Amino acid sequence: MVSSTIPFSGSLLDRAGNHRRDGAWLKAQLGAETSRFLLLHELKPLIALEGGARLAWFPQRYAAALADCPTLLLGLENGVAHFAIDVDAVPGIEGLADEQNKFIDVRSIAPQLSLPEAAILAQARSMTDWHRRHRFCAQCGAPSNAEDAGYSRRCSNDACKAQHFPRTDPVVIMLGVLPDAGGDRQADRILLGRQRQFLPGVYSALAGFMEPGESIEEAVRRELAEEAGLATGEVRYIASQPWPFPSSLMIGCVADATSDALTVDQHELEDARWFRRDEVTTMLRASTDMNAPLRLPPPLSLAHQITKRYLGMD
Ligand SMILES: [Zn+2]
């Protein structure tokens, strides 16, 4: 297995896609003593804090009482089934939390978890959120029910029976790069921008949702043109990241600028400008320093990770 360095990817669970439609297998896993269950309340997972933050897996003997709650298969690790349970409807469930076990939102806790555990949260949060917001058939409006261990929903209307699948929304995020005319990579300049709601001093890669009927390369060029008035040529893929707020897939790229001219769209951005490579290196190193005058977003973000790779610092 290729190990990942991108936050929210790198789960060690085998998603067991070929077992999901096997009702008898699924029932056996739900009832197996060894099975483990991750509780989510208002999309916040239960986290064990003693001795370092980690996922607080519930053993099957306790989870059996939650059998009526929406449950989905996360996958298998060494043959042991792992499930996520949405416990919102359980009266008083918040009482489970104490000094050592708390329901904590994914974005806050992810930096404290191992990469494989954060990746499990990305899957659990996106999927649980999808079920919560897709309880009715988009085709006829009748209630729908989860199927395939939670990986699809089926309309309850016999005249419709439409099947619905979880969605992933692709977002392109990119560094515009102005190659040095003399071919000196160290003299390249890098485009970063900031939105008004960013914390002071934070500049990031530009980003935007892909639109239907668009390739990744086209979306990258369009976003750079729309937000910064930048003309670009070649686009190179760097890395991708699941971003479970609620269900984006971030696609990180670098695009070569064909001119240094910028026209910043003031509706989208407060500022966008060129930075020298050494400035961006300093901003990357300062990404978790709240007092730094200029910094990139923290390591959890793909903006941070693609900049690090572009600079050859990973
Ligand atoms: Zn329907």
What is the predicted pLDDT for the residue at 102?
Answer: 97
Tell me the CA–centroid distance for residue 237 and ligand 1, in Å: 38
What is the predicted pLDDT for the residue at 3?
Answer: 65
What is the predicted pLDDT for the residue at 1?
Answer: 52
How far are the Cα atoms of 189, 204, 313 from residue 289, in angstroms, in the given order?
23, 15, 18
Tell me the CA–centroid distance for residue 152 and ligand 1, in Å: 13
The answer to whether residue 110 sits within a structural domain is: yes
Q: For strands 80-86 and 36-41, give the pairing.
A: parallel
Can you tell me the distance from the alpha carbon of 18 to that of 13, in angstroms, rounded to the nearest whole number? 14
Q: Which of 267, 229, 264, 252 is nearest to 175 (CA)?
A: 252
What is the predicted pLDDT for the residue at 96?
Answer: 86
133, 156, 182 - which closes a domain: 133
DSSP E strands, the chain = 36-41, 44-48, 54-55, 58-59, 71-77, 80-86, 101-103, 144-147, 152-155, 163-164, 169-178, 189-194, 206-209, 232-243, 248-257, 271-276
The answer to whether residue 140 sits within a structural domain is: no
Tell me the CA–centroid distance for residue 157 and ligand 1, in Å: 6
Tell me the CA–centroid distance for residue 168 and ligand 1, in Å: 21
Tell me the CA–centroid distance for residue 149 and ligand 1, in Å: 20
Same domain, 115 and 174: no
Q: For strands 169-178 and 189-194, give the pairing.
A: antiparallel
Q: Total domain count for the chain?
A: 2
Residue pLDDT, tens place only, 30-73: 999 999 999 999 999 999 999 999 999 999 999 888 999 999 99
Tell me the CA–centroid distance for residue 159 and ligand 1, in Å: 8
Backbone angles phi, psi at 244, to 5 degrees: -85, 45
Residue 200 token pair: 């002071």
Write down the H helix ranges in the chain: 23-31, 60-63, 106-109, 115-133, 216-228, 277-285, 302-310
Tell me the CA–centroid distance for residue 165 and ligand 1, in Å: 13
Residues facing 248 on adjacent strands: 169, 243
Residues 6+ apart with CB under 8 A from 94: 41, 103
Tell me the CA–centroid distance for residue 245 and ligand 1, in Å: 27
Tell me the CA–centroid distance for residue 135 and ligand 1, in Å: 11
Residues facing 136 on adjacent strands: 143
Tell me the CA–centroid distance for residue 1 and ligand 1, in Å: 40
Same domain, 47 and 105: yes
What is the predicted pLDDT for the residue at 100?
Answer: 94
Low-confidence stretches of the chain (pLDDT < 70) are 1-3
What is the predicted pLDDT for the residue at 23?
Answer: 96
What is the predicted pLDDT for the residue at 176?
Answer: 98
Tell me the CA–centroid distance for residue 147 and ligand 1, in Å: 14
Same domain, 205 and 119: no
How far are the Cα atoms of 73, 207, 222 from residue 259, in angstroms, in the given order?
50, 20, 15
Q: What is the CATH number of the domain that holds 31?
A: 3.90.79
How far are the Cα atoms of 93, 105, 184, 279, 304 from residue 284, in angstroms, in the given order?
41, 25, 21, 9, 7
Tell me the CA–centroid distance for residue 146 and ligand 1, in Å: 13
What is the predicted pLDDT for the residue at 202?
Answer: 98
Residue pLDDT, tens place only, 189-220: 999 999 999 999 999 999 999 999 999 999 99
Residues facing 240 on adjacent strands: 251
Tell me the CA–centroid distance for residue 160 and ligand 1, in Å: 5
What is the predicted pLDDT for the residue at 125?
Answer: 98
Same domain, 107 and 174: no
Same domain, 243 and 190: yes
Same domain, 86 and 181: no
Structural domain boundaries, residue 50: 23-133
Contact 200, 160 (CB under 8 A): no
The answer to whether residue 158 sits within a structural domain is: no
Same domain, 301 and 177: yes
Same domain, 215 and 82: no
Helix axes of 302-310 and 277-285: crossing angle, nearest 10 degrees = 130
Same domain, 123 and 180: no
What is the predicted pLDDT for the residue at 185?
Answer: 87
Long-range contacts of 113-116 (CB under 8 A, 24+ apart): 113/53, 113/54, 113/55, 114/54, 115/4, 115/5, 115/7, 115/9, 115/10, 116/10, 116/11, 116/12
What is the predicted pLDDT for the residue at 2?
Answer: 61
